[in-house]
Chain A
Amino acid sequence: MKQRLYVKPELCTGCRTCELACSFTNTVDGKPRRSRIYPLPAGYPDMYVPVVCLHCDDPACAKSCLVDAITRNEETGGMELDQDKCVRCMACIAACPFGCALLDTQYDQVVKCDLCGGDPVCARFCPTKALECRPAVLTTRKKLAGSSS
């Protein structure tokens, strides 16, 4: 079943638990700087947005990858990066319009959110359910137009 990571900034308290959970799951030494999710201030008092890869339907990272190292995992619906295929040209980092393909400077490799293989740890640890992973409900423009008429 295709999963979607739903981000609800109105519930986020900026506790940064997701950042810790991600860095301890996906990196060797659990440094928060190496996390794939960034809770950032949203420009209003007490409002934070956990910025994470949105696994776009038309992903610029996969389009920019000339060796096709970024592909969609049809099982989980997440865009995954094959480290062995990556040639580190950094095109995806520059191309992503949300800045969610990241460079891990410690190990000199490109990293991005891969939905933890269908069960994102950040969503499991989020105390306010600002991050929630559930099967994708596709509401494309066509469907919306159809339902309103």
Chain B
Amino acid sequence: MISMTINGKVVKAEKGEMLLKVTRREGIDIPALCHHDAVEPFGGCRLCMVEITKADWDGWKNYVTACLYPAEDGLIIQTHSAKVNELRKGVLDLLAARCPNSPEIRELAAEYGVPQTTLEEVPDADNCIMCGLCTRVCERLGFKAISTVGRGHSKQVAPPLNEAPPDCVGCISCAQVCPTNVIPYKDINGKRTIWEKQFELIACKECGKHTITTDFADALCERRAIPRDYFDVCDDCRRKELSLKMGSIVAWSREGTS
């Protein structure tokens, strides 16, 4: 255990833990768009910048991304100093110019004093901030169906060759973790469409409620050795099944004792 000072408060942390994790545990709100605990820290959005210094640094300060900086003994951290807020404002100004139509970005930018971007807005903006969280999560899940393609201005998140991705199983984790909700998917009549690929949703045998896609269930059965019939019935019907089964056991034991 080491101790650091965050905004004047002494905080205990494990050595090597990332600063963002420590501040979140302490309930300090640091904005971060590209971070998700399921994947390795990335440092893409640069919004989690904090000011660090140490007593023996002779007043020198450093500005680092909290998601990528490991905790050290004796660090003095400022999460919302004037300079840090200025840095975040600059980043949000750029993001607001890139994604002028994204409500999430606009809200965050307004919070840091950027109600309107001072730069020229990107024409035909698509709200993607290029943080790559969707591709990293997809890789973490082991499907690797999408990736960033192109460099510079033409960089975008896309399946290989811009065709329906063969490795995608339709788990929609990419859409769920996207910080600006830009990945579209549709669940209509037991069919799910994402990345222009269509999937069949499993319909509950009892009530017909749709759960996950058949491809995802097959992948789970194969990789995690889960019996395929676990996916046949929805959670509501499973609970009813369990209560009826336990009820019959209780009734049976009552008969036996009386």
Residues of chain A whose beta carbon lies under 8 Å from any beta carbon of chain B:
7, 9-10, 38, 40-44, 47-49, 51, 60, 63-64, 66-67, 69, 82, 84-91, 93-103
Contact = CB atoms under 8 A, between A and B. Distances in A.
B212 A94 contact: yes
B239 A98 contact: yes
- What is the size category of the interface that chain B forms with chain A? 35 or more
Nearest to B239: A99
A66 B37 contact: no
Contacts of B240: 40
A60 B247 contact: no
B226 A87 contact: no
A91 B172 CA distance: 11
Contacts of B173: 87-89
B217 to A, nearest CB: 7
7 contacts: A84-B37, A90-B211, A93-B211, A94-B202, A95-B220, A95-B231, A96-B235
Nearest to B242: A98
B140 interface: yes
Interface string B224-239: 1110001101111111
Contact of A64 (B137, B172, B224, B251): B224
A99 B224 contact: no
Interface of B: 24, 36-38, 137, 140-142, 171-173, 176-177, 202, 211-212, 216-217, 220, 223-226, 230-231, 233-244, 246-248, 250-251, 253-254
A55 to B, nearest CB: 14
Contacts of B244: 42-43
Contacts, number: 126
A78 B129 CA distance: 38
A90 B36 CA distance: 17
Contacts of B236: 99
Given A41-B247, A99-B235, 20 more contacts: A40-B243, A42-B243, A42-B244, A42-B247, A42-B248, A44-B250, A44-B251, A47-B247, A47-B251, A49-B242, A64-B220, A69-B38, A85-B36, A91-B216, A94-B234, A95-B231, A98-B238, A99-B234, A99-B239, A100-B238
B254 A10 contact: yes
Contact of A97 (B141, B220, B230, B247): B230
Nearest to B246: A49
Contact of A101 (B37, B235, B237): B235
Contacts of B225: 63
Contacts of B246: 7, 9, 42, 49
A64 B235 CA distance: 15
A98 B237 CA distance: 9
B217 A94 contact: yes
Given A89-B216, A93-B211, A100-B239, A66 B141 contact: yes
B231 A94 contact: yes
Nearest to A87: B173
Q: Which of A66, A84, A90, A100 has the most CB of B within 10 A?
A: A66
A116 to B, nearest CB: 20
Contacts of B216: 89, 91
A37 B238 CA distance: 14
Contact of A95 (B226, B239, B251): B226
A88 B173 CA distance: 6
Given A42-B244, A42-B250, A91-B212, A99 B238 contact: yes
Contacts of B211: 90, 93-94
Given A42-B247, A43-B247, A93-B235, A88 B176 contact: yes
